[in-house]
Amino acid sequence: MSNNERTVKKFGLVDKLGYMFGDFGNDFTFILSSVMLMKFYSDVMGVSVALVGTMMMAARIVDAFTDVAMGEIVDRSRPGKKGKFLPWIRRMCGPVAVASFLMYASWFADMSMGFKIAWMFGTYLLWGSVFYTSINIPYGSMASALSGDPKERAQLSSFRTIGATLAGAFISVVLPLIVYYEDANGNQILSGPKTTFAAAICSIGAVICYILCYCMSTERVKVEQKTDKFNFKTLIKGLLSNRALIGIVVCSILMLLVQLTMQSMAAYVYPNYFKNVQAQSAAGMVGLVMTLLLSTVVVKLQIKLGRKELAILGSLFGAVIFIGIWLTHTKNAWLYVGLYALAYLGLAAFALICWAMITDVIDDTEVRTGDRSDGTIYAVYSFARKLGQAASAGVTGFLLSLIGYSKKTAFDPKVTEGIFNLSCLVPAIGFILLAAALWFLYPLDKKRVEENARILKEKAEKAE
């Protein structure tokens, strides 16, 4: 397969913004589900938090097949006028947005519990395992086609994270001010109809962002259609022997466990423990500000230190801050927000570079095996991220259930105290495990990444 550069316009800001809008669109629905779905089904629909978490984990079994299948479909699709990956974004942006909206059907709140559970499972599988997969796999794989330069890919990774952060900021900053109302006892209660309205806004926003991504991005590295006969046994054997891929998979699961637990617990710790949704809104803005601040220097930092090395430092920093928050046991929501901001720097250090790290894995695989399977490798990585989402939802649901959380006990002092402890200790443990996984499992340090880039550059020059 040739990686010769096409004679098209030079890689630049338009590509980076276009790629940013792609994850902006993705996370309008992905982060919404991570932050609001469990809260919606527990507080509005009356479904057990443990059952919602179990559903999210069970759906990943389906994803094990749909993600890899979509990766193979993408690798075997024929490049068109817009390239190999971009057409999928245009095709699937509508279905994924509609499926996301249908998950928040508050008009079914008075239906039987059996119907509500069936609707929850059906719409969640349709959104996450079918339509989200069919747009996210080609979108993520596309980074290798936008540029073959490691530095430019690092910039794409940063812009992708900025896009996700913008979506997260909208959901975390704006939505809490819209979807809650105060009851007679001063408690902040989630409104079903307002959540449905918010989901509709997010779906519309997702479609707009996807179209911008399609129009602004240019595939300039030729990725040929894969035509060899598919062999599932060979695929699995190759994946299991790929230490770099296994390492990034484990790290991504742990990173998502930290990130999504922070986001999902925000929907409980601020309204229930602090009784302050304004602080929840501010915390959402903090994530955006910290990510944008770090994005101004992250490319220079990873060039100087290495991506793996920078991620380890960020993880250890985040763990220290969350342990500090837990030890202070503050009742002041604004102090919590300030310390949370510092911890978010540790998360942003990894989040800003993780997409460049998966292209490092793709490059390393090509160097070792001679085969480049962008779609398949990214599909495995995407599945890992969904496992992280499921782990976060499963752990959050199980632990909330363990401390006795339900619609009736949501504001009991013993339960709210447990909510605070969970909001600190789960991310702290996740950060520590992430640092350990990066150190011991992930092999692509600064020296090896640079050597792989040199080998592939020489290979491309010889092919010209």
Predicted confidence at residue 1, as pLDDT, reads 41
Predicted confidence at residue 103, as pLDDT, reads 96
Predicted confidence at residue 3, as pLDDT, reads 45
24, 383 in Cβ contact below 8 A?
Answer: no
pLDDT tens-digit series, residues 125-159: 999 889 998 998 889 888 878 887 767 877 887 88
Query: H helices of 103-191, where?
Result: 113-125, 133-141, 143-146, 150-169, 175-179
CA angle 339, 340, 343 (to 5 degrees): 90
230, 413 in Cβ contact below 8 A?
Answer: no
Predicted confidence at residue 413, as pLDDT, reads 92
Predicted confidence at residue 4, as pLDDT, reads 44
Residues 6+ apart with CB under 8 A from 149: 11
Residues 6+ apart with CB under 8 A from 426: 257, 261, 265, 395, 396, 399
d(CA 207, CA 316): 37
Q: Which DSSP helix (H) or strand (E) runs through 373?
A: none
Predicted confidence at residue 2, as pLDDT, reads 42
pLDDT tens-digit series, residues 64-87: 778 778 887 877 777 777 878 899
pTM given for the model: 0.69
User: Which residues of the chain fall short of a pLDDT of 50?
Assistant: 1-6
Residues 6+ apart with CB under 8 A from 114: none
Q: Which DSSP helix (H) or strand (E) runs through 189?
A: strand 188-190
